[in-house]
Structure 1
């Protein structure tokens, strides 16, 4: 992604302490084995250019989005802000709300999913395991079905834990794999489909002023998101 393309990344919020943006899909949040340009490095370069900063630019990664996932994301521009935001994540005063399109219908219009998840770093995959499994961590999310059409459902998800691949794994475990998810839903998805998972809301107390900050980003109005009308679509960002 060139500097020209970087300028097209919408900035949702910015001050001396924070940078909130809309993460583009299919770009890694931070450098990985692919060697592809990553969001953290690109944003650092952008700050360096925009503010004419000499030397290294600090930008702290507070939370992550999987490479194929887009949407609202916050970065810290100071180490103090990074530390306080990380504490907000740990204390669960950092809210994360996502939109997902899944295959099939959920067992209830709304509910809570609790699973024990175990990550295999060798394959970068996560599986649901029995309680008491060494290394397993509890994953909790609330969901609400906003609409169903044909073979798909539009789901609003609020995360209470931030486990790797959590929504993807838990929805698949519930029998409703995400549209386009090649890793956990290959039996129902076609190669090349874009995963339908989007970070809609990231809200938290400002690390310095303590005022509430709320970043909001709606998914692009294209298939499969466009299967629902605008009124349902806009309910994704409602409280």
Structure 2
């Protein structure tokens, strides 16, 4: 598989994750992205033995887009701290069913995860296991049935965007887990990690990478004129 490298130096590797590939090894036994990247580094730099590559954050298996990995343990530790401090600007594009009641809004929910089902649910704030989830969205374009949203994460809960947009009455197109009442089996989820912006953990310069969704794939192709935009 050809790996699309968006940025690389001695400390970081930013790449485009393909859809439907797990980020790391799981119980399915399918090939995972982290192992692919390690093998690619091993070959490109002719490294003997094991290759270090730190997993900084995750994307759900069906979701594609930009991801950052750490090539050193020092960078991994500092990038993890950036995420803990919510100092990484993470933006996504999502095509949702219907039209949100508000063109833009901040969504706040409290979530719990059922690990056995691998599914996340909204609960009241006083639930003993609840974790606050916060994002904001803005409507970029819409048709009668679908809307294109720019979403910015402020917390990093499992399945957060999928759960919150569904709870807001606009499930993501193709999401079988949180929009099963409206989406059909086989439809590809239209959620894409569009951009990352953060302070480099070593040289302290700003790193910004944008990654457009696949314009040849439905429903992204509805808004082809927007595909050359880097900021939403």
TM-score by length of 1: 0.95
- Structure 1 residue 229 displacement after superposition: 3.8
Pick from 16, 40, 46 the counterpart of residue 34 of structure 2. Answer: 40
- Structure 1 residue 234 displacement after superposition: 4.3
1:1-239 aligned within 5 A: 5=1, 8-221=2-215, 222-230=217-225, 232-235=226-229, 237-238=230-231
Once residues 208 and 53 of structure 2 are traced to their aligned partners in structure 1, the CA distance between those partners, rounded to angstroms, is 19
- Structure 1 residue 150 displacement after superposition: 2.1
Aligned residue for 2:213, secondary structure, equals: coil
- Structure 1 residue 64 displacement after superposition: 0.3
Aligned residue for 2:90, secondary structure, equals: strand
Once residues 14 and 197 of structure 1 are traced to their aligned partners in structure 2, the CA distance between those partners, rounded to angstroms, is 24
Q: Structure 2 stretches of 5 or more lacking a match?
A: none
Aligned residue for 1:102, secondary structure, equals: strand
8 Å CA contact 1:116–1:136 kept in 2: the answer is yes
Once residues 179 and 22 of structure 2 are traced to their aligned partners in structure 1, the CA distance between those partners, rounded to angstroms, is 21
Once residues 215 and 228 of structure 1 are traced to their aligned partners in structure 2, the CA distance between those partners, rounded to angstroms, is 21
Aligned length: 231
Moved over 4 A (4+): none
Once residues 229 and 197 of structure 1 are traced to their aligned partners in structure 2, the CA distance between those partners, rounded to angstroms, is 16
Once residues 203 and 55 of structure 1 are traced to their aligned partners in structure 2, the CA distance between those partners, rounded to angstroms, is 32
Once residues 48 and 165 of structure 2 are traced to their aligned partners in structure 1, the CA distance between those partners, rounded to angstroms, is 46
Once residues 224 and 214 of structure 2 are traced to their aligned partners in structure 1, the CA distance between those partners, rounded to angstroms, is 13
TM-score by length of 2: 0.97
